[in-house]
Amino acid sequence: MCEIIDGRALADKIKDKIVQEIVKLLVLPNDGNRHPNLAIILVGERPDSKLYVARKEKEATKCGIDTHVYKFAEDASEQELLDCIGFLNRDDLIDGILLQLPLPPQFNTDKIVAAISPDKEVDGFHPDNLKKIYAGEPYQMPVLAAVILEILTSINCNLQNKTVALLAHSDIFMNGIGEILKQCGAVILPCHYDENSKNNLQICTKQADIVITAVGKKHYLTADYLKPDAVVIDIGIIREGDETFGDVDFASASKVASFITPVPGGVGPMTIACALRNVLELYKKNKKF
Which residues are known binding-site members for NADP(+)? Answer: 237
Which one of 98, 147, 148, 267 is in contact with ligand GUN (CB under 6 A)? 98
What is the nearest approach in angstroms of ligand GUN to the Cβ of residue 30? Answer: 34
Q: Is 101 in the site for ligand GUN (CB under 6 A)?
A: yes
What is the nearest approach in angstroms of ligand GUN to the Cβ of residue 255? Answer: 29
- Report the candidate in 195, 257, 189 with the shortest Cα–Cα distance to residue 225: 257
- 190-249 positions binding ligand GUN, by CB under 6 A: none
Q: Is 99 in the site for ligand GUN (CB under 6 A)?
A: yes
Buried b (16+ CB within 10 A) or exposed e, 50-71: eebbeebbebbeebbbbbeebe
Which one of 271, 273, 277, 282 is in contact with ligand GUN (CB under 6 A)? 271
Angle CA 21–123–201, to nearest 5:
125
Q: How far apart are CA 148 and CA 32, in angstroms?
A: 30
Q: How far apart are CA 24 and CA 28, in angstroms?
A: 7
Q: Any idea what DSSP says for residue 242?
A: T
Contact 62, 15 (CB under 8 A): yes
Q: Is 146 in the site for ligand GUN (CB under 6 A)?
A: no
Q: Is 140 in the site for ligand GUN (CB under 6 A)?
A: no
Residue with Cβ nearer ligand GUN (20 or 108): 108
Contacts to ligand GUN by CB under 6 A: 52, 98-101, 123, 143, 271
